[in-house]
Amino acid sequence: AGAGGWGFAARGLRTSVPGRKEAAVSGLEEEYEHATGLEKAEIESSMKGVDMFKEDWLDAPFGTADNPVEVPSSFSERIVGVTDPEDDTIIVWDTIKEGEPAKQIVEGGEFFVLKKVA
């Protein structure tokens, strides 16, 4: 039974070292096997070359009343935080809602509008 009568099957040895890309993909596939929920969704996105947490609106031009930053959301409202212009260690939070006009959260700050996505 098995190799040398020890009751287990012999396994072949790999004689070449995998390349970095091959090893990274292999490691990701192994993580995927054990992942659930959000972690699994993130790995699936990563395997497709997509960063599911990348939000383009964060890199958008400064939002004005006429051309506000469009914040995508699958919900009818979203919380947005901006830094206080006088103290960037303070974050001011507010809610933007579907159908509302562009909203300025802090005086002199950017304008935001919610863009509903499916």
**Residue 94 one-letter amino acid:** D
Enter the pTM of the model.
Answer: 0.54
Q: Of the candidates 91, 92, 100, which has an alpha carbon nearest to the alpha carbon of residue 71?
A: 100
Q: Which two tokens stand for residue 88?
A: 């960037």
pLDDT tens readout for residues 58-95: 677 899 999 999 988 989 999 999 999 889 899 999 99
Q: Cβ neighbours of residue 102 under 8 Å, at least 6 residues apart? A: 63, 65, 68, 111, 112, 113
- Which residue shows structure tokens 């990563």? 46
Task: Grade residue 24 by pLDDT with cuts at 50, 70 and 90.
Answer: low
Mean pLDDT highest for which of 19-28, 48-57, 61-70?
Answer: 61-70
pLDDT digits (tens, 9 = 90+) for 32-43: 888 888 888 888
